[in-house]
Amino acid sequence: MENNVLLKNCKTDQGVKNIHIIDDKINYVGVETPKSLQVLDMNGFLIIPGMIDPHVHLRDMEQIEKEDWLTGSKAAINGGVTFVFDMPNTIPATICCRALERKQRAAHKSLINKKFYLGSNGENLYYIEKMLDENFSEIAGIKIFLAASSSNEVMNYKYLDELLKLAKKYDVIVSVHSELKDCIDKYSKLYDHNILNHNMLRNKECSIQGTKNIIESSAKIGNKLYICHVSTKEEIEIIKQYKQDYPVYCEITPHHLLLNEEILKIVGNIGKVNPPLRTKTDNEALWQAIDDNIVDTIGSDHAPHKLSEKNLEYDKAPSGFPGLETSLHLLINEMQKGNISLEKLIQLTSTNAAKIFKIQNRGELKTGYFADLAVIDLDKSWKIDSSKFQTKAKYSPFDGFEMKGKVVKTFVGGKMFEINTIH
Ligand code: DOR
Ligand code: ZN
Ligand code: ZN
Residue type, 408: V
* CATH number reported for the structural domain that contains residue 351 in this entry: 3.20.20.140
Q: Do 95 and 195 share a domain, yes or no?
A: yes
If one counts every other C-beta atom within 10 angstroms of the C-beta of residue 168, the result is 15
Rounded CA gap, 300 and 418, in Å?
22
Q: Do 129 and 174 share a domain, yes or no?
A: yes
Lowest mean pLDDT among 55-64, 148-157, 414-423: 148-157
Are the C-beta atoms of residues 372 and 362 closer than 8 Å to each other? yes
151 pLDDT tier (thresholds 50, 70, 90): very low
Domain boundary among the residues 321, 356, 391 is at: 356
Rounded CA gap, 298 and 310, in Å?
24
**Do the domain assignments include residue 363?**
no
Report CA(176)–ligand 2 centroid distance (Å): 7
Mean per-residue pLDDT for 262-275? 98
pLDDT tens-digit map of 20-59:
999 999 999 999 999 999 999 999 899 999 999 999 999 9
66 lines ligand 1 (CB under 6 A): no
Candidate of 62, 66, 150 to mutate for ligand 1, largest count of ligand atoms within 8 Å of Cβ: 150
**Do the domain assignments include residue 278?**
yes
Report CA(352)–ligand 2 centroid distance (Å): 20
122 pLDDT tier (thresholds 50, 70, 90): confident
- Residue owning the nearest CA to atom 3 of ligand 1: 320
Rounded CA gap, 3 and 410, in Å?
15
Neighbours of ion ligand 2 (CB under 5 A): 177
149 lines ligand 1 (CB under 6 A): yes
Q: Do 142 and 266 share a domain, yes or no?
A: yes
Are the C-beta atoms of residues 391 and 67 closer than 8 Å to each other? yes
Q: Do 17 and 94 share a domain, yes or no?
A: no
**Do the domain assignments include residue 361?**
no
Domain count along the chain: 2
Angle of CA points 382, 387, 388, to nearest 5°: 60
pLDDT tens-digit map of 65-120:
999 999 999 999 999 999 999 999 999 999 999 999 999 999 999 999 999 999 99
Candidate of 144, 301, 324, 391 to mutate for ligand 1, largest count of ligand atoms within 8 Å of Cβ: 301
Report CA(148)–ligand 2 centroid distance (Å): 9
Q: Do 99 and 12 share a domain, yes or no?
A: no
304 prior amide bond cis, ω within 30 = no
* pTM, rounded to two decimals: 0.97
pLDDT tens-digit map of 352-362:
999 999 999 99
57 lines ligand 1 (CB under 6 A): yes
**Do the domain assignments include residue 362?**
no
Residue type, 368: G
Residues in Cβ contact with 43 at an 8 Å cutoff, skipping those fewer than 6 apart: 9
What is the average pLDDT score of the chain? 95
pLDDT at 2: 85
Q: Do 275 and 305 share a domain, yes or no?
A: yes
**Do the domain assignments include residue 29?**
yes
Domain boundary among the residues 336, 356, 376 is at: 356
Report CA(401)–ligand 3 centroid distance (Å): 23
Report CA(24)–ligand 1 centroid distance (Å): 33
Q: Is the dihedral of CA 9, 11, 17, 21 positive or negative?
A: negative
Q: Do 76 and 128 share a domain, yes or no?
A: yes
Q: Do 311 and 401 share a domain, yes or no?
A: no
Q: Which residues participate in catalysis according to the annotation?
A: 301
* CATH number reported for the structural domain that contains residue 416 in this entry: 2.30.40.10
Q: Does position 423 have pLDDT exceeding 50, yes or no?
A: no
Q: Do 73 and 201 share a domain, yes or no?
A: yes
pLDDT tens-digit map of 247-261:
899 999 999 999 999
pLDDT tens-digit map of 377-412:
999 999 999 999 999 999 999 999 999 999 999 999
Q: Does position 155 have pLDDT exceeding 90, yes or no?
A: no
**Do the domain assignments include residue 163?**
yes
89 lines ligand 1 (CB under 6 A): yes
Atom of ligand 1 lying closest to residue 305 CA: 11
Report CA(154)–ligand 1 centroid distance (Å): 12
**Do the domain assignments include residue 338?**
yes
Domain boundary among the residues 312, 327, 356 is at: 356
206 lines ligand 1 (CB under 6 A): no
Candidate of 145, 151, 319 to mutate for ligand 1, largest count of ligand atoms within 8 Å of Cβ: 319
If one counts every other C-beta atom within 10 angstroms of the C-beta of residue 122, the result is 15
Are the C-beta atoms of residues 249 and 218 closer than 8 Å to each other? no
Helix axes 125-135, 160-170, angle to 10 degrees: 10
pLDDT tens-digit map of 305-325:
999 999 999 999 999 999 999
Q: Do 309 and 413 share a domain, yes or no?
A: no
Q: Comparing C-alpha atoms, which of 236, 422, 401, 411 is closest to residue 327?
A: 401
pLDDT tens-digit map of 281-290:
999 999 999 9
Domain interval for residue 162: 50-356
pLDDT at 121: 82
303 lines ligand 1 (CB under 6 A): yes
Q: Do 148 and 238 share a domain, yes or no?
A: yes
Q: Do 136 and 39 share a domain, yes or no?
A: no
